[in-house]
Structure 1
């Protein structure tokens, strides 16, 4: 797994996603599912710069965040000084006490590029969730995203935050049709006086999944799906899965 969003990339990510994502709506979406299954404790994997953490904290919920990036956690801790954050890897982590809900947000599953990555992640979730708990996660739908990326070689996203105009130009190249992996190159710009200034370039290898693949991975790791939600995000067609330990 690549080192994600370190250094200045964490700050750029935080600024742009304030516009890309409606975090109040995002919180309401996940919290509604958590409350539906009577969960009292929540671990968010891919907690990033702590935007969802802020909402959980404001509602006095028992929340822990886990992220792979030191820089992202540093911003999250500054934003949420009373929240608990863990620097860790979703493929191999151990909580001091099991929780009754684990959410993986922001399509962080895209960075699980091998079958071993996926199996290790679901095994870690199985080890850290209570017997009656639920896991909730989203993933990019390969059946819709790959044709879209092939038909749109350059994908542009714009954002304005705190008076600064940002532009992201993304290019995608399919590298493996076996595991539906793509190389993603993203160039980030600031727009000033109608001129764009390059401020960062980010390269990642990501994976998208079919619903059938996810269903099989969960079955092999002793989970059963209890709800599937077809959900459009700001840029991607995704599925959200709610699953529990298989009896």
Structure 2
């Protein structure tokens, strides 16, 4: 799994994504799906620095977050004193009590590199859901994203947060020697001071993108029934969001 947001990268991520993502809109989007399915207990995987957690807490919902990064969780706990956060791996975790809904947010599925990673994750979700439980998750659409990276070799994101200006310059490389639809992501993070860029951090990660058919098959093989598929445009890339219900087999 990626350690992309450990150490000082957690704070940089938090600062930049405050302006990339409208978390009020994100909360409304996910909460509408939760309410449609009458889910009262919620686990968010990829809870990060607790920006969605804050909204769930403010609305007195039964929420807990799980993230792989201890650094991200430390920020989340400071921001959300009354929320429960767990440091853990989505491929293998065990809650004290099963929940009605599990969210995987922020395209965290991109870090499920192998088929084994995906199958283990869905098995963990299945185990930690109630019998009528649902999962809601997003993923980057390979059919649109790979051509996008070919046509846009350098992607620049700019953000201003707490009077600091930041720039991220990222590059995606399709590696045909790797299995599945895999990309290698490199990024440079800068702080802009008096019009001059000062390097903060270099980053590298291998990520995976999926086709819709591919993800549908993984769900079928892991005993989930798709309720809804949403074609969603987010702050940077086209994604799909899937809502699926745990299927109890006799």
> When the two structures are superposed, what TM-score results if normalisation uses the length of structure 2?
0.97
- Count of aligned pairs: 247
Q: Aligned to 1:235, what secondary structure does the other structure show?
A: coil
Task: Please show how residues 232-247 of structure 1 align to structure 2 within 5 Å.
Answer: 232-247=233-248
Instruction: State the Cα deviation string for residues 202-231 of structure 1 (Å, max 9, x = none).
Output: 111000000000000000100011100000
- What residue is the counterpart of 1:121 in the other structure? 121
- 2:39 is paired with a residue of what secondary structure? coil
Unaligned runs of 5+ in 1: none
2:88 alignment partner in structure 1: 88
2:21 — aligned with what? 21
Partner of 1:181: 182
> Do structure 1's residue 193 and structure 2's residue 194 form an aligned pair?
yes
**Which residue in 1 is equivalent to 2:162?**
162
Moved over 6 A (4+): none
Instruction: For 2:175 and 2:113, locate their aligned partners in 1 and report how far apart those are by CA, in whole Å.
Output: 11
Alignment partners' CA distance in 2, 1:227 and 1:58: 27
TM-score between both structures, scaled by the size of structure 1: 0.99
Distance 2:4 2:67 in 1: 10
Aligned to 2:94, what secondary structure does the other structure show? coil
Q: Deviations over 1:131-187 (max 9, x none)?
A: 111100000000000000011110000000011110000011112464110000011
Q: How does 1:132-147 map to 2 (within 5 A)?
A: 132-147=132-147
Matched, 1:111 2:128: no
1:36-75 equivalences in 2 (<5 Å): 36-75=36-75
8 Å contact from structure 2 (residues 153, 172) kept in 1: yes
Task: For structure 2, list consecutive stretches of 5 or more residues without a partner in the other structure.
Answer: none
